[in-house]
Chains A and B, each alone.
Chain A
Amino acid sequence: MKVKVIARSEEEFTRERRQDLQKVFRNLDPKLHQQEKAVEYTRALNAAKLDKVFAKPFLGAISGHRDGVSSMAKNPRRLNCLLSGSMDGEIRLWDLPKRHMISQYPGHSGAVRGLSVAPDGDHFVSCGDDCTIRLWELPPAVIATREDDEAQEPIATFQGKNAFRSIDYHWSSDIFATGGARVDVWDPNRSEPIHTFSWGSDTIVSVRFNPAEPDILATTGSNRSIALYDLRLNTPLRKLIMQTRPNSVAWNPREAFNFTVGSEDCNCYSYDMRILKTATCIHKGHVSAVMDLDYSPTGREFVTGSYDRTVRIFAYNGGHSREIYHTKRMQRVFCVKFSSDASYVISGSDDTNIRLWKSKASEQLGILLPREKKKHAYLESVKERYKHLPEIKRIDRYRHLPKPVYKAGKLRQTVYDADKKREDRKRAHSAPGSVPHTSARKKRIVAVVE
């Protein structure tokens, strides 16, 4: 007879000393993990509910400006500071973790329309309605210790003929571009622009250099155009004319041939700069004009601020927003920024405040233990797996909205449906082929000019 029975010695399965970790044994046989689908679903449902419980995205408001915040800039070299300019011409430098001002830069007599920090992180430029560009020095790296309220003086001032609406520093070399009546490219050592581009006679409202191909820049103009320029050429590259005015433009930092514009018609449009005849994605959701947008450094999502007093976060390929932020006191949002570590969102609005938000509403801040990280990753993946089930979808998608925004959204939907119906009827009662189907991604494009 050969016989063996299960015999476990307790020492092998328990810890030796109190200080030791408990031993853990796994058997991944599905036989021992019964009803795993139901259990996973329950975990996903609970995770979705917990996300709602922990969704506290608003971290704080930073007040100090005496007028609405019109522009903001982040320092590419430092995470913890932010520049903001207001409608009264004042520029302030903020310490974000402590939420107080480090220094202020008075000088502009009209609204500050654009701010941009040089790639070395020591200088920044500002431009405004007073037809001037000013070059300023930033305090050294250890800024937290420096708390002098004394007013800073500009290093240099550049005088233009018209008001400037936007400014952007080159990603690598020491030049910057301004948008106003035309596009000017400046060298800080010269008083006159080194390049000037103009195409049509309307105002350029935003200028952005391409992060990967740094000589290319995109602009949006008040003649409803998006234009692409190359500094190496004397003439502009291409121009796209839309039905409504694009207010701002932002390049996707990871896929630098893609850019997104926030438009006056409440939508954002993503384009591939190589194929301009169709948008790659329409991002819907806002109920009023999109004033500003900024990409996350990961390139997977971007934040938008709108005239409808909300801030939304979209996936780079998401048709609808992932997140909506609003407070009772936040007024029209003029500028937004994604922090350089992709975990915060900063918005500046008409109510003179700068607001700091978490980019993931229910994210746990601070340093996480590996076990916590694993747990979060697990819950995220089960939620992803069961996100199509009605209960989880409902909980995950629900966002409380201010009544006017909600109503406006409903109204927009009604108008959209009515338009669609009208077109369908028109098509049904016309000769076949005379009313062609146009894709929504092409519909808003009027022309592409080479």
Chain B
Amino acid sequence: MKKQKKFKKDKGKKQRMEAGKKIKKKSKNDKENITPSVAKGIAQKLQEEGAQLTPEIVLRKKKYERGPAPKLTGMSDKKLKGQLQEKEKLYGEAAVTAAQAEQWLLPSEGGYLEAEDLEQTKNFTQQAIVKEVDITSARKAFDLQLEDLAPYTLDYNNNGKYLLIGGRKGHLAIMDWKQSKLIMETQVTETVRDVKFLHNELFFAVAQKKYTFIYDKQGVEIHCLRDHLSTLKLEFLPHHFLLASVDKAGILRYQDTSTGQLVGFIRSQLGRCGVMRMNPYNSVIGLGHNNGTVTMWSPNMQNPLVSMLCHKGPVTAIAYDSEGRHMVTAGIDGKVKIWDARKFSPLHFYFAPTAAKSLDISQRGLLAMSSGSGIQIWRDALTEKQSKPYMMHRVPKGAQVQDIAFCPYEDVMAIGHGKGVSSILVPGAGEPNFDSYVSNPYQTLKQRREAEVHKLLDKLQPEMIVLDPEEIGAVQKSAKEIQQTKGLQANEANAAIAEKLGLPVKTPKEKKKTKGRSKASKRLRRKESNIITIKRALIAEQVKGASKSQSKDKDTPEVPLPRALQRFKGPGILYLCRSITKFGWNWVMFLDYASRSITSLETYWANGCPYIDSADFELRLEGSVK
């Protein structure tokens, strides 16, 4: 189950370039996504086969499908094949039923904000929005002026009914914010750095000056977690009942809140760390460090699962989207970068007005970033690079924003800042339809109790925190098996290449299995047997040809090349180069050495060029293109 991936930036930009290529490829694949016309075609085809599907349902059912079906052609085990076919049929049917039931199950529609004529949504003020909406929604926008004990950090509970606020100077309060009802208020007379609800609104954890404390809904101190010293940031893993904290020394601790055991004690060894966020897709904790790296952790390993250099300069905030597809990081360098959270590759980035201090992604994928006293909200900003924000907001009186949080299942965002707490309306932020068995904003006492029992029964073990949660229950191939398939593939590739080139096909000799010690030399030979070797002949031939043609060209006097290009020697070959200027632009040049000219030059930016390397051209050989 353990998997370790380490990506180091300093290994070279080649990796980044490759990542960029992969993304381009991916965008090509995206064309395969079903368009309405294609859906109509599919639906017609299915209807001919007897299924009752409208194009709408074909479009909708995609969401409910659990990945592509396994390839069954060529499977020798008929029984297994039958079983798998039956399973796939069931999955398909389930997806269709879910899609068909949508109109009854999902009655509410999401919010929206649309501009008319020459208006722009980003110019709409809160006052204007509040004026337009109904009276109960208008009441959801409010300002709490709590200047004395500010700045505030905040947290919503899982169904969004309660808001927990923690003032820097010791003020803690829980409120039923929709009804403007104060549930609890207390003063701990100690610095409060972070607050976090545990599995429901009954308990919450507070990172105080020295220790971390757990309080109940009445504000009574339940536990003092003496293990969690001078915590800067808290996070709660709801499926695992783990409270994660990171402290001034960069130590990440996991405490099981159902059993009370400390299940993880990890030194990140990257110094003070105050940026932490859980990826809800796989419950992996992401930490942002002062050296610009983001590391991802599970309690099972002392080393990070992933370590990636994201910013030049300290990371100030991280956010994950709810499906675990994107990670957003903000750095002191003023950039907000969007990453593919599964491939760990950069997608694009935005400039924040000043360094963004906090980030949050709503349930429907709105990205909010705060810098100074301003807040920008971007729509569809994760999948595609947007040119302008969706909404902008400025906290009154120029107070500095400390923390922002989208409310689940509501079109509301809370802002904790230097003058108190504000709540603003963000149309289109929340998921309009809740699932009563996941989190119910109208939960009754009995339902809450039952839900708590069920959560405890379904509690996941900390060992199950892995990068890819789909791995659970999947087949793990043994090392031997992998080695064998690799060997077979290599043999096939060798044979194919040899056939293409007209070289004699070498069939690997059957090894005689004899007992005895494996010599180092034999081991080496065995290792090499899996490598595609026949290409070497091709390369050697090419080199030979190249040297011959070079000798022919000797008569013509050689024109000295610019020094930067002297690396790329080889006639008639186009080189793919890349340069980075101080503006953060990327160029791809195709140079023809024979004519000594640039055949094509493509410029693009904001794709995989996170920071400036040097003022001059820096050229790198990426490989030859025929």
Contact = CB atoms under 8 A, between A and B. Distances in A.
A41 B471 CA distance: 11
A27 B473 contact: no
A6 interface: yes
A2 B113 contact: yes
A38 interface: yes
A25 interface: yes
A4 B111 contact: yes
B108 A3 contact: no
Contacts of B34: none
Contacts of A385: 473
A24 B436 contact: yes
B430 A6 contact: yes
Contacts of B283: 35
Interface in B18-74: 63-64, 66
B239 interface: yes
Contact of B436 (A26, A30, A33): A26
Query: Which of B283, B440, B442 gathers the greatest number of chain A CB atoms within 10 Å?
Result: B442
A298 interface: no
Contacts of B128: 1
Nearest to A9: B136
A1 B119 contact: yes
Nearest to B322: A31
A22 B64 contact: no
Given A25-B105, A26-B437, A38-B464, A1 B137 contact: no
B435 A32 contact: yes
A141 B425 CA distance: 74
Contacts of B447: 22
Contact of A4 (B106, B427, B442, B472): B427
Nearest to A29: B63
A30 B459 contact: no
A149 interface: no
A38 B63 contact: no
Contact of B460 (A2, A13, A39): A39
Contacts of B63: 29-30
Query: Which of B111, B281, B435 gathers the greatest number of chain A CB atoms within 10 Å?
Result: B435
Contacts of A30: 63-64, 66
A159 B437 CA distance: 71
A32 B431 contact: yes
Contact of B409 (A2, A6, A22, A33): A6
A46 B108 CA distance: 35
A9 B140 CA distance: 14
A278 interface: no
B451 interface: no
Contacts of A13: 441-442
A328 interface: no
B472 A8 contact: no
A37 B472 contact: yes
A38 B132 CA distance: 44
A431 interface: no
A367 interface: no
Nearest to B110: A6
Interface in A362-389: 385-386, 389
A53 interface: no
B555 interface: no
A33 B64 CA distance: 11
A30 B432 CA distance: 15
A427 interface: no
A26 B239 contact: no
A80 interface: no
Contact of A3 (B132, B282, B410, B472): B132
Contacts of B323: 31
A6 B128 CA distance: 17
Contacts of A25: 105, 433-436, 440
Contacts of A6: 108, 110-111, 137, 409-411, 430, 432
B61 to A, nearest CB: 11
B180 interface: no
A92 to B, nearest CB: 46
Interface in A1-54: 1-10, 13-14, 22-35, 37-39, 41-43, 46
B473 A35 contact: no
Contact of A27 (B105, B239, B410): B105
Contact of A5 (B64, B66, B133, B324): B133
A41 B119 contact: no
B435 A42 contact: no
B434 A27 contact: yes
A37 B438 contact: no
A26 B436 CA distance: 6
A1 B115 contact: yes
A43 B472 CA distance: 13
A442 B273 CA distance: 70
B239 A39 contact: yes
Interface residues of B, number: 65
A223 to B, nearest CB: 37
A32 B105 CA distance: 14
Query: Which of B109, B116, B281, B433 gathers the greatest number of chain A CB atoms within 10 Å?
Result: B433
Nearest to A24: B436
A386 B441 CA distance: 33
B493 interface: no
B619 interface: no
A249 to B, nearest CB: 27
Contacts of A10: 442
B481 interface: no
Interface string B442-462: 101001000000000111110
B313 interface: no
Interface in A222-240: none
A385 B84 CA distance: 12
A289 B281 CA distance: 55
Given A3-B132, A22-B447, A27-B433, A33 B460 contact: no
B242 to A, nearest CB: 13
B280 interface: yes
A39 B129 contact: no
Contacts of B116: 1-2
B100 to A, nearest CB: 11
B134 interface: yes
B282 A35 contact: yes
Nearest to A37: B472
B262 interface: no
A35 B437 CA distance: 15
Contacts of A37: 469-470, 472-473
B215 interface: no
B444 A22 contact: yes
B98 interface: yes
B611 interface: no
Given A1-B128, A5-B411, A26-B436, A42 B459 contact: yes
A161 to B, nearest CB: 51
B133 A46 contact: no
A145 B108 CA distance: 61
B112 A41 contact: no
Query: Which of A10, A30, A38, A389 gathers the greatest number of chain B CB atoms within 10 Å?
Result: A38
Given A5-B411, A25-B105, A25-B434, A34 B98 contact: no
B295 to A, nearest CB: 21
A7 B135 CA distance: 10
Given A27-B106, A34-B281, A3 B435 contact: no
Contact of B442 (A7, A14, A27): A14
Query: Which of A5, A22, A386 gathers the greatest number of chain B CB atoms within 10 Å?
Result: A5
Interface in B519-578: none
A3 B113 contact: yes
A41 B119 CA distance: 51
B114 interface: yes
Interface of A: 1-10, 13-14, 22-35, 37-39, 41-43, 46, 385-386, 389
7 contacts: A5-B111, A6-B108, A6-B432, A25-B434, A29-B431, A35-B469, A46-B458
The 4 A-B pairs of least Cβ separation, nearest first, read A5-B411, A2-B114, A5-B111, A27-B435
